[in-house]
Every structure is written in C-alpha cells, then in structure tokens.
C-alpha cells in the first residue's frame, strides 16, 4: 500500500516476510503465493508491499540467474505485490528451531556479510517498481558487542566497499538502493545515537544510513531523535512488563529467538529465561525485545509505537518513505495467542497492516493504492 504525505512524498507500507520459513527460491515463491497474496486479497488492497527476506543462498541464486529472477518478478506481479525494501539482517535459517545469537553471524567483520548485502542490492535493483524512487536494505548494526571490543572501526572498510558498489549500481540502474543500519540491544551499536555516530564516521550518508526499529527503540526506553538519515523503519511492538505479579513472563521464554531485556535504569540481560524473574528490580518497568502483533494492546509498547510513527510520518516532511511491519514471532507466541493455521496467520498479518493503515491516515497521510 502507498500513501501520499502532505509534502507530496510517497510512503510505502509493507510487511516483512522473515516470519515465513524459506531457504531457497521455491520456498520464497511458495510463501508469496500462500501468505502475501492472500493477505492482499483479505485487505482488498490493489497492491501489497512486501519487505522481502532472502536468505543468502537464494539471494546469490537470484543475483546470478536471470531466469530465477524472472520467476520472482512474475510471482510478484501475479499476486499483486511490490518490493521497495529487503531485510538483510538475518543471513539464513531465521526460522530454524534455534536461532538466538546466530542471527548476528556473519557480521560486518566477515566477507560473507559484504557479499550477501551486494547480492541483495543487485536483486532489489531489478525488482523495484518502475515508478519507485529508491530502494532500501536493512542490515545488522555491525555485529554483537563481544565481536567489537574496540568499537565499529574494524568494519569500516567493508561498509565503505559496499557504499562504493551501491554508488556504481545506482549509476547503472538510474536510482539508488541504500543500506540502513538497524540498532539492536546487545549489539555494538544499540541505540539510534550510537548508530548516528558509527554511520556518520563513515562519511557516506547518501549510501549508508539508519533503520529505526520501533520495538528496539521501546526496549531501550529510547525515543526517535532528530539526527540521522533514516532510510527505513520497522513498525514493531515490544513487550512491556509492569506490576507486582510477573510470573506470567516465563510464558514468553522460548528457545528460538533472543529476547533482550532492559529496565528503566538501563540495566539489562541478553535473553529472557527463568532466572529473569529474580534478576531485575520488581519496582521498575521492564521492556523485552519480543516482537508482538501491532494491534495487540495490554502488555505491549503500542503507545510508544504510535509516537514513533508520528515522529516518522506525522511531521511536515517524512523521516523515511519505507515502513515495514516486522512481526516475526507468530510461531512462538504463548498459548492461545499463537495462530494455529495458515488462515489465522493471514488474518493476523492483515490485522497488523490494517491497524498501521489507520494510524497513518490519522496522521494525515492519504492512501493512494
């Protein structure tokens, strides 16, 4: 879905496909047919944006095989889908039985990360809608903090190499695809301020900027500041923990994903476990990096998400034109909140997109298709 901002800009709204398991082209085509197309039809939208996640083997296949790329284009057209952004954070196997810290490897100290990112850029250039002005690729914030004891400088050369190739590709295809660094708790770059500093030091703002993830912002008790080129935002919801009884939190301790915890004074843990219930101050609010459906209220940071959307799209000019709904935890939600069928997942995704649509309209954006 596209929206017109009051300044005339076109805002693209999509949902991220990293919630669907797929490791090759056949899996990606199947998920678009099984989920994305039906979501679009459920909403009654003429076009649905998808923030594609392409695992590394599939990205290489598509970047080097014109017939494979043509199959992807045909599927997107057949299902009424468009792509302006890719999620380049997970390298592969993001829906494996156990992901945890593996999602941060390879990081920006490893050649595989550079190669993967450039494969994504080559693919995105060739599937962007003809009338789209630019594309974006989100990526991890350099890597997990223990891999960068002296800061992000050791990865600068790789980042600058990507910037040079992005510039070359823009010259070849006539429009830019930009890289968006996504701060996350526990990484060497955790906050937007840290990301502004790390990316700013590179000196290539026209090619490398920021991805603002609303769940990460809320988990860090952080608001979106005025600085930085935000090339993409992930519309996401964190878990809020308050009150005297916190025993229910153990229902969210699951084995697949890392769920970092922060409390109001800034202290934290790297993952949610049984010992979490006794490791924090029970008189302080806690936030957990657990992406919850956007339209769920109660124990979520939905109020903070609304403020983030307002900061991104409610001003005289938008901070970004790419908004990607990213709830990848449907299969690990606790109890009866977990969808039990494909149809329930489709309805869940559609509900999130409809909620976001309503928020953007309330901010004064005009749906255009």
Q: Nearest CA to 208 among 103, 108, 110?
A: 108
Kindly report which listed range (137-141, 149-153, 269-273, 291-295) carries the lowest average pLDDT score: 269-273
Rounded percentage of the chain residues whose pLDDT exceeds 90: 90
Sequence length of the chain is 369
Report the DSSP pairing between strands 81-82 and 48-51.
Answer: parallel
CATH number at residue 289: 3.20.20.150
Residue recorded with tokens 């196997």: 93
Q: What's the pLDDT band for 360 if we cut at 50, 70, 90?
A: very high
- Over residues 177-191, the pLDDT tens digits come to 999 999 999 999 999
Angle between helices 56-64 and 66-78 (to 10 degrees): 110
The pLDDT, as a whole number, for residue 55 is 96
Q: Which residues span the domain enclosing 232?
A: 2-367
Q: Can you give the three-state secondary structure of 79-104, one letter per residue?
A: CCEECCEEECCCCCCCCCCCCHHHHH
Cβ atoms of residues 21 and 28 within 8 Å = no
With 80 as the cut, is the pLDDT of residue 147 above it? yes
Say how many domains are in the chain: 1
Beta-carbon contacts of 278 under 8 Å, excluding residues fewer than 6 positions away, are none
| pTM more than 0.95 | yes
Furthest-apart CA pair in the chain: how many Å?
Answer: 59
Q: Is the pLDDT of residue 279 over 80?
A: no
Q: Which two tokens stand for residue 229?
A: 């080129």
């Amino acid at each position: 879905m596209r929206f017109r901002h009051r300044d005339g800009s076109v805002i693209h709204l999509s949902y991220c496909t990293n919630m669907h398991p797929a490791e090759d082209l056949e899996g990606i085509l199947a998920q678009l047919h099984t989920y994305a197309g039906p979501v679009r039809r459920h909403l009654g939208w003429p076009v649905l944006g998808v923030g594609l996640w392409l695992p590394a083997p599939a990205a290489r296949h598509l970047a080097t095989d014109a017939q494979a790329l043509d199959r992807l284009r045909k599927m997107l057209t057949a299902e009424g889908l468009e792509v302006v952004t890719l999620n380049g954070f997970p390298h592969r196997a993001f829906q494996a039985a156990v992901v945890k810290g593996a999602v941060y490897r390879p990081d920006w100290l490893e050649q595989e990360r550079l190669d993967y990112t450039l494969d994504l850029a080559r693919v995105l250039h060739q599937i962007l809608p003809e009338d789209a002005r630019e594309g974006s690729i989100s990526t991890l914030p350099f890597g997990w903090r223990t891999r960068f004891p002296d800061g992000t400088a050791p990865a600068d050369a790789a980042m600058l190499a990507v910037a040079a190739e992005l510039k070359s590709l823009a010259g070849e295809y006539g429009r830019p695809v930009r890289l968006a660094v996504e701060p996350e708790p526990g990484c060497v770059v955790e906050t937007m301020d840290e990301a502004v500093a790390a990316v700013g030091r590179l000196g290539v703002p026209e090619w490398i900027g920021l991805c603002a993830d609303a769940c990460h912002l809320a988990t860090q008790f952080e608001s979106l500041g005025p600085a930085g080129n935000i090339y993409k935002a992930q519309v996401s919801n964190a878990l809020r923990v308050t009150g005297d009884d916190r025993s229910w939190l153990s229902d969210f301790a699951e084995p697949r994903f890392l769920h970092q915890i922060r409390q109001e004074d800034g202290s934290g843990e790297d993952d949610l476990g049984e010992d979490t219930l006794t490791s924090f101050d029970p008189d302080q609010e806690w936030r957990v990096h657990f992406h919850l459906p956007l339209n769920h209220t109660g124990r979520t940071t939905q109020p903070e998400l609304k403020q983030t959307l307002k900061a991104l799209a409610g001003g005289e000019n938008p901070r970004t034109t790419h908004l990607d709904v990213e709830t990848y935890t449907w299969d690990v939600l606790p109890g009866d909140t977990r969808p039990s069928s494909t149809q329930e997942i489709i309805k869940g995704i559609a509900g999130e997109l409809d909620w976001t649509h309503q928020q953007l309209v309330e901010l004064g954006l005009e749906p255009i298709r």
